[in-house]
Amino acid sequence: MPLVTMKEILEEARKGKYGVGAFNINNMEFLQGIIEAAEEEKSPVIIAVSEGAMKYAGVEYIYAMVKVAAEKASVPVALHLDHGKHWDKIVLAIRNGFTSVMIDASDKPFDENVAITNKVVDLAHAVGVTVEAELGRLAGVEDIVNVDEKEAILTNPEDAKRFVELTDVDALAVAVGTSHGAYKFKGEPKLDIERVKTIADLVQIPLVLHGASGVIPEIVELATKYGAKLPGAKGVPDDQIKLAIEAGICKINIDTDLRLAFLAAVRRELTEKPENFDPRKYLGPGREMVKEVVKKKMRLFGSSGKAA
């Protein structure tokens, strides 16, 4: 089917109280792995593309690939700009057929974040593109040393309410103790679930969890067995993700887990078959491992079967 907007996917998720994964891609193999998983799980899916991914692959290539993938698929697929920070990149994404964009002005003061977000909302909504904004700073709980700092970094529920009243965003990313990458926690991996609940009670739009990778121990072990160096890598456990969804999270962003899955498979192939020089023989297993991880995520998030 043709590409859909993120809003269409997330409004259903919010009503049905399940989560939908936004999975980052930079190339064809990741996209194919994710779409195959979505088809097999009968799950809606959001394909996320960062500014860096647009630069790496070229926005026209990205759009062409995702358009074909969506049209061939029988499940809803949205194409979303992840962490749009520059006006020209946001315009580029919209002009090239993205159905959704994120404006990330979370590093700016509240009023400035509102003003920048509104500018993007005006442009995007005029052409039927939906918008995600972010309030609060993604920082691992380990980096937060005291209560004052915690309040300054994590999303303040009253601010979230005001932000949504002052903007017309379609989804809001909140900071509740996750961070990007493979090293999220030194100690106990725990999110501020109460904060999610409070925000969800005050804000009537879908909430987004960034930095949601689990840094799956078996995958890290496999990659390490074949030479990767990832000491101390730790992510968000599955039970915390479940609690976050129950508390009101609708969109769950996953990049690191797919990078690690692909890495583990490619390393294994290259190590076990050093005589091979056909790229399909190591990129294919990478794609397969991405697919397996995405399928597990869809079951965990509760989106499996929702596009049946």
- Binding piece for ligand 13P, criterion CB under 6 A, among 36-44, 226-234, 252-260, 266-274: 252-260
Partner interacting with residue 36 (select from ligand G3H, Zn ion, ligand 13P, none; CB below 5-8 Å by kind): none
Q: What are the beta bridge partners of residue 249?
A: 207
Q: Are 79 and 95 in contact (CB under 8 A)?
A: no
Instruction: Report the C-alpha gap between 19 and 245 in whole angstroms.
Output: 6
Burial class (CB in 10 A: 0-12, 13-18, 19+), 107: exposed
User: Site for ligand 13P (CB under 6 A): which residue of 167, 253, 303, 304?
Assistant: 253
- Binding piece for ligand G3H, criterion CB under 6 A, among 34-42, 46-54, 58-66, 73-81: 46-54
Applying CB under 5 A, does 268 fall inside the site for Zn ion?
no
Applying CB under 5 A, does 210 fall inside the site for Zn ion?
yes
Q: Which of 82, 170, 192, 255 is catalytic?
A: 82
**Cα→Cα distances 106→134, 170, 174, 235, 284, Å:** 5, 16, 10, 22, 37
User: Site for ligand 13P (CB under 6 A): which residue of 8, 67, 125, 181?
Assistant: 181
Q: Which residue, 100 or 213, is less far from ligand 13P as judged by CB?
A: 213
Smallest separation, CB 279 to ligand 13P (Å): 25
Torsion-angle region of 47 (φ positive above 0: left; ψ -120 to 50: alpha; else: beta): beta
Torsion of CA 244, 139, 182, 100, to 10 degrees: 60
Q: DSSP characters for 7-25?
A: HHHHHHHHHHT--EEEEE-
User: Site for ligand 13P (CB under 6 A): which residue of 103, 205, 212, 293?
Assistant: 212
Smallest separation, CB 177 to ligand 13P (Å): 12
Burial class (CB in 10 A: 0-12, 13-18, 19+), 226: middle
Applying CB under 6 A, does 67 fall inside the site for ligand 13P?
no
Applying CB under 5 A, does 184 fall inside the site for Zn ion?
no
Q: Are 174 and 193 in contact (CB under 8 A)?
A: no
Smallest separation, CB 281 to ligand 13P (Å): 27
- Binding piece for ligand 13P, criterion CB under 6 A, among 61-69, 89-97, 209-217, 221-229: 209-217
Applying CB under 6 A, does 53 fall inside the site for ligand G3H?
yes
Q: In three state form, how does the secondary structure of 123-137 look?
A: HHHHCCCEEEEEECC
Other beta carbons within 10 Å of 78: 26
Applying CB under 6 A, does 43 fall inside the site for ligand 13P?
no
Is 88 catalytic? The answer is no
Smallest separation, CB 73 to ligand G3H (Å): 23
Applying CB under 6 A, does 50 fall inside the site for ligand G3H?
yes
Stated as kind and residue range, the H or E segment containing 171 is strand 171-174
Smallest separation, CB 255 to ligand G3H (Å): 3
Q: Which residue has the tokens 């970094």?
A: 153
Smallest separation, CB 201 to ligand G3H (Å): 27
Residues near Zn ion (CB under 5 A)? 210, 253
Catalytic machinery residues = 82
Residues near ligand 13P (CB under 6 A)? 24, 82-83, 180-181, 210-213, 253-257
